Structure 1
Amino acid sequence: MPKLLVASRNAKKLVELQRVLDAAGIDGIEVIGLDTVDEYREVPETGATFEDNALIKAVAGVEATGLACLADDSGLSVDALNGMPGVLSARWSGRHGDDQANNDLLLAQISDVPDERRGAAFVSACALVVPSGERTVVRGEWRGTILREPRGANGFGYDPLFAPDDAVAQGRSSAELSAQEKDALSHRGTALARLVPTLRSLAD
Structure 2
Amino acid sequence: MNPIATNGLVLNKRPIIVWEDEEVEFLKLAWNEGMSTKDIQDNLRKTKRAVLSKVALLNLAKRRIGLDVSKTAIDEYEAGYKSDEVAKSAGVNNQTFRNLIKRHTPRRELSNRDIETISDRHEDGCSASCIAQRIQRSTLIVKDFIKKAQLDIDSIPTDKLVLSLESDGFTTAQIAMKLELPLVAITNAYKRLRGKGKQNV
Tell me the TM-score normalised to structure 2 length. Answer: 0.31
Q: Quick check: which one's helix share is greater?
A: 2
Give the structure with the larger strand fraction: 1
Q: Which has the larger radius of gyration?
A: 2
